[in-house]
Structure 1
Amino acid sequence: MSSPSSTADAILASARDLVVAGGYNGFSYADIAAVVGIRKASIHHHFPAKADLVEALVARYRAETRAALESLESQIAGPAELLGSYVSYWQACIARSDPPFCVCAQLASELPRLPEGVAREVRAHFRGLADWLSAVIARGGREGVLDAADPVAEGEIVMATVHGAMLSARAYGTPEVFGVITAPLLDRLSRRD
């Protein structure tokens, strides 16, 4: 499979920013054309329909997330540190507003109205993330560094807490809210009797 053209990359980058800012229905091809400096027909050449564009965007986002998690695992050995680094990544992003929000979290709020291909990619993102978090927590339990009676449930709780904290930080307009919400979760999981 060949790599996307620089025009396709620019279209996807613009779409990502627009989705994070306003969701699936918050932008049009005209918006992307204005940002990228191309005609709408050029966008249709690469992505015939908006659903094709956003599905490709989420597929790329999922691949980037998998690569980032693999990179994190190659750099950090301990499960408690992995979990902390994952949370710290989002805390830093929210503090500097780059990216201020997860693409899939934004789209998940619109799931009932999304085209099926986009919805399938969004669900797959969350399933993959929850599986990774659960595996990290299970490993932490085996190594005696994380308190995880039910790693699958805890993985879902971490994922929901992180994404909920993003939403709260956005709603309150205060990045610090993210840490206020996530710190007790990490403390609870790190506590060993």
Structure 2
Amino acid sequence: MNKKSQTAQAILDTAESIVQESGFNGFSYAHIADKVGIRTASIHYHFPNKEDLAVALIERYTDKFVAASARIDAESPNAPERLRKFIAMYRDPVLEYRTCLGVMFSSDASTLSEKAQEQLTGFISATLSWLEQVLSLGRSEGTLRFEGDAETQAHIFLASLQGAQLLARSFRDIRRFDQITEELISAFA
């Protein structure tokens, strides 16, 4: 990776962490520059404006999710195991009292550009589609039980995870996340 790519990655890594902690409207380029140890002009070189940064963050987050869900599918023999690994992905940010990027961007959606909102919708749609497939697989293999259709249940599952993150963060207590997600899995078993 060349120096230009390394700088862009450091900017994205830092911005992602800040957004997960403070939201997209909770920082400026000066915050990133300070943490990365560069000038704000360097950030503007890679991401001319905050909209460009938002779009890049959401694209990268979507790519990470697609890769992680493919890995989960390849490594996990059944639907309950896939759901547990998916929950683990949502648990990781809570350990540092942060939330997933999707939650934080969603809370700032009204202030995002149309392009960033479209990227966010794409990320959430990809997540819901994967969850729907896993739930449908679990129902067909007999490892998951639920009423109604898999699409609605995918929405409920994702909303529950996002809410669990927010509650655990609010109380600064990972046990709340774990209790909610255990009940969530139990409801499908």
> Does the pair score TM above 0.5?
yes
Partner of 1:184: 183
User: TM (normalized to structure 2)?
Assistant: 0.93
Q: Deviations over 1:51-101 (max 9, x none)?
A: 10111011001100110110111111101111122113323542x32x831
Q: Does the Cα contact within 8 Å between 1:23 and 1:110 map onto a contact in 2?
A: yes
Q: Does the Cα contact within 8 Å between 1:165 and 1:177 map onto a contact in 2?
A: yes
**Sequence identity (%):** 33
Partner of 2:118: 120
Gaps of 5+ in 2: none
Q: Does the Cα contact within 8 Å between 2:47 and 2:53 map onto a contact in 1?
A: yes
Gaps of 5+ in 1: none
Partner of 1:104: 102
Which structure 2 residues correspond to residues 62-141 of structure 1 after superposition, within 5 A?
62-94=62-94, 96-97=95-96, 100-141=98-139
Runs of 4+ aligned residues of structure 1 deviating over 6 Å after TM superposition are none
- Between the aligned partners of 1:92 and 1:109, the Cα distance in structure 2 is 20
Shift of 1:113: 1.5
CA RMSD of aligned residues (A): 1.7
Partner of 2:143: 145
* Structure with bigger RCO (C-alpha 8 Å, 6+ apart): 2
- Between the aligned partners of 1:21 and 1:127, the Cα distance in structure 2 is 23
Answer with 42-51 or 117-126: which moved more.
Answer: 117-126
Q: Does the Cα contact within 8 Å between 2:93 and 2:100 map onto a contact in 1?
A: no
Q: Letter of the aligned partner of 1:8 in structure 2?
A: A
Q: Does the Cα contact within 8 Å between 2:168 and 2:174 map onto a contact in 1?
A: yes
Aligned length: 187
- Between the aligned partners of 1:50 and 1:130, the Cα distance in structure 2 is 27
- Between the aligned partners of 2:88 and 2:122, the Cα distance in structure 1 is 23
